Amino acid sequence: MTTATVPTAPFDAFAHAQALLTGLTGSGADEPPPAGGVRLHEPAGGTDAACEALLAGVWSALARPGALATNFRLVESGRQVDRSRWMRSRVGDGEILHTALVPSYLHSAVQRGATLVISHLEALDERIMLLCEAFEYQLRARAWVNCYITAGANSAFDVHSDDHDALVLQLLGAKHWEVDSRVGARARDLAHGSLDRVLTPGMCLSVPRDTAHRVSGTGELTVHLTIGYEPFADVLEEIDAARALVASTTGTDPAPRSGADRPDYLAGRLALRPDRRPGASLRSALTGEIGATTRIRWASRFPPHVTTGDGHLTVTTMGRRIRLDRRLERAVALLARGGALTVDQLAAGSDLPEAELRALLAFGARHDFLICEG
C-alpha cells in the first residue's frame, strides 16, 4: 500500500519577507527597520519550509559557483585564506570560467573555525534573488544578500560594525549574537545590557548601521543570511549631489527642499528611477500568452506611483508614465503590492472580465512593466 504525498506549496519569498518585517515592526517599533534600533523577531513556528527553501539555494550555490567564484571568501582568524587552496578554476572554450570548490580543504577549515562567506548570493540562486527583491521592494532600498557558514565555536571576526543596515536570518543550527545597545556608535566594545542571544532557525535580527556586534558559533554547523540594505539610497545620493553642485557653483548652501526627506516624497522619486527587477517575459511579450501557472509581478525594483484622473490611471514606474483605463485600478493595485500572482488570483481580486485582464497582462509584458514568468 502506498501513501499519497501532499504537494508542498512553492516558497513565497515576498510573503516571507513581509512576515519577517511585520514581526520586527510588531516588536515595539511603529515603523519597519531600521527604525526602532536593534530588534529581534522570534516566530511562533511555521518557518521550517522557508528555511529549507533558502538553504536549498545556499547548497545550490556551493555546488555551482560558476563565473561568480570571486563572490566566495574563506576567512580564518580574521584573515582571508588564499583562494587557490580551496577552489579550482580554469577558463574553457569561449572564455567561460569553470570553478569548483575543494571539499577536503574547505571542510577541515570550516571545522577548525573558519567562516565561508558567499557575497551577493542573490546572483547565484533564484530563491535568494526573489527574497532580496522582496526586501528591496518593501523597504524601498538597495539590498544584497551575504551568507555565512561555520561549524566551530569561535568567530572569524571580532567586534565590528558595518556601514549599512542589516537583517540577519538564521537558517540552520544556532549562532550566538551580541549587539551593542548604543545604536550607531561604531564602538570597539559592547556596552553593558547589550543584546545577547542565540539565534535558531527562523529567527530574524535587525542590526542598524554603525552598530557594533560580535558573532560566534556554538560548535555545530550553522548557516545564516544577512540582508544588507540602504533605504532610499539612490534618491538620497541624488539629493546630496544636487545640493553639493549648487553649493560649489553658487558658493551658498541651499536649504533642503520642503519635505525632501519624507518617505512619501522619496518613494515618489524612486518610481522615476529606471531600476528593474531581474526576470524575463519573453514568451508572454512575443505571443501574448499567459498560462495558468505563469507568475506575474511588477517589474520595477521599487513600487510604482499611481494617481487617478477622470476615467484613467497614471502609473509612474521605472521613469515612465503609463496611462491606463480606470477599470484596471484594482488589478494594478494588486500587482503594485509587489508579490507574484497567477491569473486566477488576479481575476478573483480585481473582478475584471478575463479578456480585459489578459489584455492588461499582455500589454504589461510587451511594454515591460510586468514580469510574466513560467
* Domains, the chain, ordered by start: 13-231 (2.60.120.650), 240-270 (no CATH), 282-373 (3.90.930.60)
Rounded to an integer, what distance in angstroms lies between the CA atom of residue 118 and that of residue 150?
12
Low-confidence ranges of the chain (pLDDT < 50): 4-7
- Grid look-up 567564484 returns 69
pLDDT on residue 70: 84
pLDDT in tens, 278-304: 988 988 888 888 989 999 999 999 999
pLDDT on residue 7: 44
DSSP string covering 154-200, please? Answer: S-SS-SB--SSEEEEEEEES-EEEEE-SSTT---SS--TT-EEEEE-
Quick check: 204 and 179 in contact, CB under 8 A?
no
For residue 148, give the nearest of 58, 230, 208, 214 by alpha carbon. 58
pLDDT on residue 255: 63
Quick check: 176 and 220 in contact, CB under 8 A?
no
Neighbouring C-beta atoms of residue 146, cutoff 10 Å? 18
pLDDT on residue 261: 60
- Grid look-up 557594533 returns 212
For residue 356, give the nearest of 332, 329, 328 by alpha carbon. 328
pLDDT in tens, 200-259: 999 999 999 999 999 988 889 999 999 999 987 667 677 777 677 777 788 777 666 555
Rounded to an integer, what distance in angstroms lies between the CA atom of residue 363 and that of residue 348?
20
pLDDT on residue 6: 44
pTM of the predicted structure, to 2 decimals = 0.87
User: What count of residues does the chain have?
Assistant: 374
pLDDT in tens, 189-212: 888 889 999 999 999 999 999 999
